[in-house]
Amino acid sequence: MTLLRAKIARRVALGPYDSRVSIGLRRDLSVAVSAPKARIPVSLRPFRQEDLPLLFPAGGDASAQSELVDVEWRLRAAAYGALPSRCFVAVDERSGRPCHIQWLTERGYSEAVRRAGALPALADDEAMLENAFTPVGYRGLGVMAAAIHLIAERASALGKRYLVAFVDADNHASLKGVERAGLTPWSIRTKRQFGFGLFRTVRFDPVAAPAAPGVLPAPEGGTATVGDRDGAGSTGQG
């Protein structure tokens, strides 16, 4: 009954209608960019289970608790093979404490996840940044941009040429961090849901401004109906 109540609560929270606009950003990893510097020394390593309580301490803010639910879902999905995604954390080198978490997703996630998450169909040489989160105490220090640059180096080492991310249009802090790491606006994604999430649509449109050098043109705009993914959490950077 607890799971049923949680599912009903999520449906009600969606409301009868909602629209969400995200900016798609992209970077050609073959083009060198200046590494953004954080205000603290940071390094990157794979996620460890013991990082969870440090990144999401009990009694944290609502955004942290919501993100924790999504991280736990993504860990299960990755373990089951439904989501070929690698989880990284940036570490404060002064204390060894994790100060940022983010995922690098590759081609091969299930069609259900792609439709429900309104995700692009990645090519073999593409990887996507997802679900960046920085604890309150480390925000405003440039940690996110530095972490993205380090993750981009990992993506390049994996043979990827392009790195993409989708950030909510009103998430100005994340947009600034992603752009500092060398990604430039590439497309606009509009997600809509009707009837408490029973029906969803997604549309991708090219940005109005010309693409920066090394950035491929956006795909043709179009609308598709997408399915549902209860308990999956958010996608993209925002």
For 20-39, the pLDDT digits (tens) are 899 999 999 999 999 999 99
Residue range 167-196: mean pLDDT, rounded: 91
Query: What local confidence, expressed as pLDDT, does residue 13 receive?
Result: 64
Q: Is the pLDDT higher at 225 or at 157? A: 157
Which band of pLDDT confidence, cut at 50, 70 and 90, is reported for residue 60?
A: confident
User: How far apart are the C-alpha atoms of 174 and 176, rounded to whole Å?
Assistant: 5
The arrangement of secondary structure in 13-226, i.e. its CATH architecture, is 3-Layer(aba) Sandwich (3.40)
Query: What local confidence, expressed as pLDDT, does residue 141 receive?
Result: 97
Q: Which pair of structure tokens corresponds to residue 112?
A: 């259900």
∠ CA 181-130-134, nearest 5°, is 70
Q: How many CB atoms lie within 10 A of CB 107?
A: 14
pTM for the full predicted model: 0.79
Q: Which pair of structure tokens corresponds to residue 134?
A: 């920085």
Question: 3-state secondary structure string, 6-33?
Answer: HHHHHHHHHCCEEEEEEEEEEEECCCCC
Q: Is the pLDDT higher at 91 or at 191? A: 91
Which band of pLDDT confidence, cut at 50, 70 and 90, is reported for residue 200?
A: confident
- Sorted by where each begins, the domain ranges of the chain are 13-226
Query: What local confidence, expressed as pLDDT, does residue 223 receive?
Result: 33
Q: What is the mean pLDDT of the chain?
A: 82
Residue range 31-51: mean pLDDT, rounded: 96
Q: Is the pLDDT higher at 4 or at 52? A: 52
Give tens-digit pLDDT for 113-135: 777 777 888 999 999 999 999 99
Q: SS3 for 187? A: strand
**Which residue is listed with tokens 């990144």?**
55
For residue 51, give the amino acid letter: D
Q: Is the pLDDT higher at 212 or at 107? A: 107
Query: What local confidence, expressed as pLDDT, does residue 14 receive?
Result: 60
Residue pair 85/129 in contact by the 8 Å Cβ criterion: no
